[in-house]
Amino acid sequence: MSRPNILLIHADQHRQDCVGVNGHPLLQTPALDRLARQGVNFSHAFTPIPVCTPARASLLTGTWPARHGCIANAGTEVHPPDRLELPTISGLLHDAGYTTGHVGKWHVLQNLGPTDFGVDDYIPEHGYRVWRSAQGLPPVPRTNGYFGEVDPAITPAQSALAWGADRTIDLLRRAAAGDRPFLIRWDPSEPHLPNVVPEPYASLYPPASTPPWPSFPDPLHAKPFIQQQQRRTWGIDGWSWEDWAPIVGRYLGEIALLDAQVGRILDELDQLGMAHNTLVVYSSDHGDLCGGHGLIDKHYVMYDDLVRVPFLARWPGVMPTDTVCDAFICSALDLAYTVCAAAGVEPPATFAGVDLRDQLTRPARADIFAVYYGNQMGLYSQRMVRNRRWKYVFNATAEDELYDLAHDPGEITNLAGCPEFAQVRQQMRLRLLAWMEQTQDQLLNEWIRRRLTTAGS
């Protein structure tokens, strides 16, 4: 087989449980479900860090944030670096003869863009605003802040999602007319809040029929103070599900609109005769709380609402069809490694992931990790280790968290302070310590080591 084309659709803040095949009781996603039927649904994929800029830098470089240096979004007390002195998937494939394109969100470095990292054609998402104005359409409404609303001035075909899909299809058509394989990325900002959605998608999931997340409600008992503070900061303390349901409904509606555009792109691949030799991957930088645990957006938590992401891959003739793989996947790192390996490019020694093809028969991990450094309200170091049953969160400046996922999938009850689970907690701590040593985690100093190794501390 010739070197495959590669199409990456990388959404923003799409929860793992918000895909039809992943079991949402209401949401319908026929295009994503089709991708799962025709390929592999990696059901246990996790972001390396649940923040946009660091997660995107990890996908670009195949490395943990401690290596690439982007540990928070811009506008915080820690700024992204000026450069990334590491090999990147776009640069490596460009040098290997691939034509490369990027549509939509970048959000890695402020002073450098995709074309500085081997991308031939970059169509930034702010082009939609220019296009919208040229059509005589008013700006996107923002009367309800981050909580979203209806966009009454447009049809679905005039939405930012449809515009992004149109630009992606344009790149596919240009690539089809050439003689080189392609790496094309579409990174829509959706379904990141605020969800400003046209009809009929804005009303597709009415509040009265929108069920609560398994993590709602959560009294946040025996959990770090900052979680309660986040509610107060956002002005959502005491909200009922009736308050949340309209916001969640628009979030689901925007995912449905996104799914429709994914369907258009998949159809175009078929029509161009390229689907048979194209690796297609759909995933997200991280999830979204969107009312889970009574919280919004992200930050200062490691709940599955946030760290678990959808991950669907279709590669005809190479990956099986209609398959669910429950191997632990580090979404950004493993995707970067697989993209290089698929293109016949030796993944650099800096890459920390594994080839997804191997995970289908020889899973590499018994557990999965994630990191966090802080963002909107300052630095706040967290490290997470999760296996099939247990999740342990080390909060460097707050109490530990321990959840029994088999009996508490919503992660409501923190068991870290319960004597009967002290042994489990310490086992998870030592596993985390071993991983921090292996990855040369800069958080690991003599005080952190003492705390992780001393039972009861």
Q: What is the rounded distance in angstroms from the CA atom of residue 314 to the CA atom of residue 265?
A: 14
407 pLDDT tier (thresholds 50, 70, 90)? very high
Contact 101, 184 (CB under 8 A): yes
Q: pLDDT digit string (tens) for 82-105?
A: 888 999 999 999 999 999 999 999
Q: What is the rounded distance in angstroms from the CA atom of residue 332 to the CA atom of residue 300?
A: 20
Strand partners of residue 281: 8, 313
Strand partners of residue 85: none
Q: pLDDT digit string (tens) for 110-132?
A: 899 999 999 999 999 999 999 99
Q: Domain-by-domain residue ranges, the chain?
A: 5-366, 387-457
Domains 5-366 and 387-457 share a fold: no
Average pLDDT of span 175-197: 97
Contact 393, 418 (CB under 8 A): no
CATH of the domain spanning 5-366: 3.40.720.10
Mean pLDDT of the chain: 96
Asked if pLDDT for residue 249 goes beyond 60, the answer is: yes
From 292, 263, 297, select the one nearest 280 (Cα to Cα): 263
Identity of residue 289: L
Q: pLDDT digit string (tens) for 346-355?
A: 999 999 999 9
* Domain 387-457: top CATH class: alpha beta
Q: pLDDT digit string (tens) for 29-49?
A: 999 999 999 999 999 999 999
